[in-house]
A = this chain, B = another copy of it.
Amino acid sequence: MIDFKIKIGKMLWKNPVTVASGTFGLEFGELFDISQLGAIVTKTVTLHPKQGNAPPRIAETEAGLLNSIGLQNPGIENFIKTDLHEYRIIDTNLIVSISADSISQFGEVIQELERQSGIDGYEINVSCPNVESEGIIFGTDNKTVFKLVSMIKKTTERTVIVKLTPNLTSIENIARVAENAGADAISLINTVYGMAIDIETRKPKIKNVIAGYSGIGIKPIALQNVFRVAKVVKIPIIGMGGIRNTNDALEFIIAGATAVAVGTQNFVNPLSTLDIIQGLKKYLDEKKVQYKDLINSVNF
């Protein structure tokens, strides 16, 4: 029997496979038993409801997907009343992805969630603008990340995962800062800035113009980010960015990820997480490797 239980912060995962925030929902439960996942990461929720960006919000490029959903979500109060009730009874780890406009608003969201049972961890989505500092993206500013993560760690005993954006000069620096501030794990990468134009109409293919690029086209970028971060932090990494199948997942694990998340591929094959869980088992079995020996095992 292959054992690939892993620990992410205080959480024990039965396997290292989860889903990327925003690409998954309770609807997948109609297709398979989602308690089979190592963890479930919710769509990002915010304090107030968000109606999201004007459409078109999705466009396919030659080798990936552009999206600009604009964090459409019902707000924390409605989230608690609706989705959370269903999520919490699913027998696996529940990670709520959260975002906010300011550090204090992050605090408010966490406080709301702290009153709720059934949540195992938070994923802090820092890929959005901080209104308190001229709209600079939280995740690109070391000081802000330090303050934010420190604050959150004081507010909760639950596992705190910081989800990094790749759109910056040094992913190592920000990862170190997150670790120093007490983050239990790091997940990366969020989408890469991207754009596409319809040459007939000269309109941007995404109404919001600059969008988030995901899918197979970003895999090499995601991998190098995971690899670089794994060299500088001790906390576990949840790797993502273009993972479609077992082989892609293995690349991330070898590069340094303790767990992997599937995003865009959920839209292609909604069962791909299950395929990957099976595929990883098979690989470990055939290669007679222990899962922990596979993590961060690039052979130079």
Residues of B within 8 A of A299 (CB): 201-203
- Which of B196, B228, B300 is A223 in contact with, Cβ under 8 Å? B196
B-contacting 9-mer, from A36-44, A84-92, A109-117, A248-256: A248-256
Least distance between A70 CB and chain B CB atoms (Å): 16
Among A220, A227, A250, A298, the one with the most B-chain Cβ atoms within 10 Å of its Cβ is A220
Whether the pair A227, B209 counts as a contact (CB closer than 8 A) is yes
Q: Does A146 sit at the interface, judged by CB under 8 A?
A: no
- B-contacting residues, A61-88, CB 8 Å: 61-64, 66
Residues of B within 8 A of A233 (CB): none
Whether the pair A210, B228 counts as a contact (CB closer than 8 A) is yes
- B-contacting residues, A161-182, CB 8 Å: 167-169
- Total identical chains: 2
Residues of B within 8 A of A228 (CB): 210
Per-position 1/0 for A128-168, Cβ under 8 A of B: 00000000000010000000000000000000000000011
- Which of B140, B168, B210, B220 is A217 in contact with, Cβ under 8 Å? B220
- Which of B61, B193, B199, B247 is A219 in contact with, Cβ under 8 Å? B61
Least distance between A110 CB and chain B CB atoms (Å): 26
Residues of B within 8 A of A251 (CB): 196-197, 199
Q: Does A194 sit at the interface, judged by CB under 8 A?
A: yes
Identity of the chain B residue whose Cβ is nearest the Cβ of A297 in the assembled complex: B202
Whether the pair A224, B195 counts as a contact (CB closer than 8 A) is yes
Q: Does A25 sit at the interface, judged by CB under 8 A?
A: no
Identity of the chain B residue whose Cβ is nearest the Cβ of A204 in the assembled complex: B298
- Which of B64, B167, B250 is A169 in contact with, Cβ under 8 Å? B167
Identity of the chain B residue whose Cβ is nearest the Cβ of A139 in the assembled complex: B169
Distance, CA A176 to CA B209, complexed state (A):
21
Given contacts A168-B168, A203-B299, contact A195 B210 (CB under 8 A): no
Per-position 1/0 for A199-224, Cβ under 8 A of B: 10111100001110100111111011
Residues of B within 8 A of A58 (CB): none
Distance, CA A61 to CA B281, complexed state (A):
25
Whether the pair A199, B300 counts as a contact (CB closer than 8 A) is no
Whether the pair A220, B64 counts as a contact (CB closer than 8 A) is yes
Whether the pair A298, B209 counts as a contact (CB closer than 8 A) is yes
- B-contacting residues, A45-71, CB 8 Å: 61-64, 66
Whether the pair A210, B227 counts as a contact (CB closer than 8 A) is yes
Whether the pair A255, B195 counts as a contact (CB closer than 8 A) is yes
A-B pairs with beta carbons under 8 Å apart, 10 shown: A62-B219, A192-B220, A192-B221, A194-B224, A197-B255, A202-B299, A204-B300, A210-B228, A211-B220, A213-B220
A195-B224, A197-B251 known, 8 other contacts, Cβ within 8 Å: A63-B216, A66-B220, A140-B169, A192-B220, A195-B223, A196-B251, A197-B250, A199-B251
